[in-house]
């Protein structure tokens, strides 16, 4: 019935062409899904055995007082590496240093720095790191939007954009530039850069954040290719949601893990994957969103989610301004 309708509409033998085309398209999709399942399986099965202590006695973690950065600092300390913690607030840095001292027999140092500022920061950081054998650098510090916005709606937008670029892009570039010469000299080291899934998918309404994270994605891959022959691994970590202050998700779940669960998994991928979602449910999410769903469906889905978050936030702000 269907084939005779197709033949009537498109001419004799058209149904055979349609069947062949359908078969090729279905095979291509099946092949892509199989490749992605292999990728997900790889992220479940393979774990690296990087000995971080052997890379160098110190690790530096930026944005180390909360969320993912704090989890990296504590997990690396558990592996016997001394930690330099860098964030804005001295009190929080001292608290984390205290927690680490109670849990692990390693040394800690703190550096108070606001990465929202520009280049003036880095001479002092360079001096404070000069005498340390740094084997691991975790460029974790990051800042996102308080709510999705169109580019022109962002409050105090130009100041905000500069701050966001300084925190997400300048900090990673400068910290790498400060730390990598020592790694090259010793011919070993690991640089772990926190990007985001929005550095893979263009994410409108979080435009500057998404663009900054795409920079992290490319920067990491280029550094990896330039320096891998000198014993240095540069890994790009691209999480979906993790339950932290930034994501505003309090209760962890399988797909939105706690920072501790996430980091345990992501650290085991150092030396295994140069670019990773870090955690197998996130790899699965990536495989479905990026490779199984057609791009227009994915774009529509993301736009709808972000537009409704924007609408909710605008209403909330309106209610609050009426109260004042």
Ligand X SMILES: NC(=O)c1ccc[n+]([C@@H]2O[C@H](COP(=O)([O-])OP(=O)(O)OC[C@H]3O[C@@H](n4cnc5c(N)ncnc54)[C@H](OP(=O)(O)O)[C@@H]3O)[C@@H](O)[C@H]2O)c1
Is 209 annotated in the active site? yes
Decide: 205 and 149 in contact? Cβ < 8 Å.
yes
- The answer to the question of residue 88 lying near ligand X (CB under 6 A) is yes
Q: How far apart are CA 257 and CA 26, in angstroms?
A: 34
**Least distance from ligand X to the Cβ atom of residue 198, Å:** 7
Decide: 172 and 219 in contact? Cβ < 8 Å.
yes
Decide: 178 and 214 in contact? Cβ < 8 Å.
no
**Least distance from ligand X to the Cβ atom of residue 269, Å:** 15
- Provide the token pair at 269: 């991928």
32 vs 109, beta carbon nearer ligand X = 109
The 174-213 contact track toward ligand X, x by CB under 6 A, reads --------------------x-x-----------------
- The answer to the question of residue 85 lying near ligand X (CB under 6 A) is no
**Least distance from ligand X to the Cβ atom of residue 253, Å:** 12
Binding segment toward ligand X, per CB under 6 A, in 15-23, 102-110, 124-132, 234-242: 234-242
- Provide the token pair at 252: 């962890």
Q: How far apart are CA 88 and CA 109, in angstroms?
A: 14
Pick out residues in 125-164 that bind ligand X (CB under 6 A): 140-144
Strand residues in 245-294 grouped as ranges (E): 275-276
Using the rule CB under 6 A, which residue among 114, 185, 226, 295 binds ligand X? 114
- Provide the token pair at 179: 């730390």
**Least distance from ligand X to the Cβ atom of residue 9, Å:** 48
Pick out residues in 38-67 that bind ligand X (CB under 6 A): 63-67
6 vs 94, beta carbon nearer ligand X = 94
Residue 266: in which H helix or E strand, if any? Answer: helix 259-267
58 vs 240, beta carbon nearer ligand X = 240
- The answer to the question of residue 226 lying near ligand X (CB under 6 A) is no
> Catalytic residue among 209, 227, 240, 279, which?
209
13 vs 123, beta carbon nearer ligand X = 123
Other Cβ atoms less than 10 A from the Cβ of 233: the count is: 22
- The answer to the question of residue 224 lying near ligand X (CB under 6 A) is no
Using the rule CB under 6 A, which residue among 33, 246, 288, 290 binds ligand X? 246
- Provide the token pair at 164: 């966001």
Q: How far apart are CA 294 and CA 132, in angstroms?
A: 49
DSSP-assigned letters across all residues of 239-250: -S--SSTTTT--
What are the phi and psi torsion angles at 269 (to 5°)?
-95, 0
**Least distance from ligand X to the Cβ atom of residue 241, Å:** 4
Helix/strand/coil for 232:
strand
- The answer to the question of residue 257 lying near ligand X (CB under 6 A) is no
Q: How far apart are CA 227 and CA 311, in angstroms?
A: 45
Binding segment toward ligand X, per CB under 6 A, in 86-94, 122-130, 226-234, 282-290: 86-94
104 vs 258, beta carbon nearer ligand X = 258
- Provide the token pair at 10: 């498109």
- The answer to the question of residue 92 lying near ligand X (CB under 6 A) is yes
**308-311, Cβ contacts within 8 angstroms, sequence gap of 24 or more:** 309/147, 309/148, 310/147, 310/148, 310/149, 310/205
- The answer to the question of residue 278 lying near ligand X (CB under 6 A) is no
Catalytic residues, which ones? Answer: 209
Contacting positions for ligand X (CB under 6 A): 63-69, 87-89, 92, 113-116, 140-144, 167, 194, 196, 239, 241-242, 244-247, 259
């Amino acid at each position: 019935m269907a084939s005779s309708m197709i033949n009537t509409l498109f001419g004799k033998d058209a149904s055979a062409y349609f069947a062949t085309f359908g078969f090729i398209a279905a095979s291509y999709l099946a092949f892509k899904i199989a490749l992605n399942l292999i990728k997900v399986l790889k992220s479940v099965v393979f774990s690296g055995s990087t000995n971080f202590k052997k890379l160098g006695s110190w690790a530096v973690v930026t944005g180390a007082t909360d969320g993912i950065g704090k989890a990296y600092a504590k997990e690396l300390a558990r592996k016997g590496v001394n930690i330099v913690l860098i964030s804005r607030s001295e009190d929080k840095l001292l608290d984390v240093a205290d927690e680490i001292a109670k849990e692990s027999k390693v040394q800690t140092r703190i550096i108070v720095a606001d990465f929202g500022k520009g280049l003036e920061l880095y001479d002092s950081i360079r001096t404070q790191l000069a005498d340390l054998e740094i084997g691991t650098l975790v460029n974790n510090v990051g800042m996102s939007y308080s709510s999705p916005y169109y580019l022109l709606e962002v409050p105090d937008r130009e100041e905000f954009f500069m701050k966001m670029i300084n925190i997400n892009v300048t900090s990673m570039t400068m910290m790498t530039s400060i730390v990598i010469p020592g790694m090259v000299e010793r011919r070993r080291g690991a640089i772990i850069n926190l990007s985001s899934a929005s550095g893979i998918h263009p994410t409108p309404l979080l435009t500057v954040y998404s663009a900054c994270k795409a920079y992290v994605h490319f920067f990491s891959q280029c550094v990896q290719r330039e320096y891998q022959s000198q014993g240095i691994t540069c890994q790009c970590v691209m999480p979906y949601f993790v339950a932290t202050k930034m994501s505003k998700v309090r209760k962890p779940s399988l797909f939105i893990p706690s920072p501790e669960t996430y980091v345990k998994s992501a650290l085991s991928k150092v030396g295994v994957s140069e670019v990773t979602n870090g955690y197998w449910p996130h790899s699965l999410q990536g495989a479905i969103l990026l490779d199984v769903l057609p791009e227009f469906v994915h774009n529509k889905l993301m736009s709808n989610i972000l537009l409704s978050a924007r609408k909710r936030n605008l209403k909330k702000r309106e209610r609050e301004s009426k109260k004042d």
